[in-house]
Amino acid sequence: MKNMSFLPQWLRVFFGLATLNMICFMVAWSMGKTGMGSIWSVTSFGAAAIKWSLVLYYQNQSPKASL
């Protein structure tokens, strides 16, 4: 049952990344079909993934800590 407790957290992370990726895609699309736009979108999505993985890691290290 311990894995079930992580399901809502992972769903929140998944939808958060999907929303952020959509925003980055819209910004890159509005910047025009340039190389910088797609590079900015990929970089932002990668940075968000790293940030959320660190947040999950530290939450698992200290469950009593709240954001």
Q: What is the pLDDT of residues 14-49, one digit of tens each?
A: 777 788 777 777 777 676 666 665 676 677 777 877
Alpha-carbon torsion (23, 45, 47, 42), positive or negative:
negative
Predicted TM-score of the model (pTM): 0.36
Asked if the model's pLDDT at residue 51 lies above 80, the reply is yes
Confidence (pLDDT) at 18: 80
Q: What local confidence, expressed as pLDDT, does residue 44 receive?
A: 75
Mean pLDDT to the nearest integer, 57-65: 65
Contact residues for 56 (Cβ-Cβ < 8 A; gap 6+): 9, 13
- For residue 38, the model assigns a pLDDT of 66
Task: Please give the Cα distance from 17 to 46 (Å, whole number).
Answer: 10
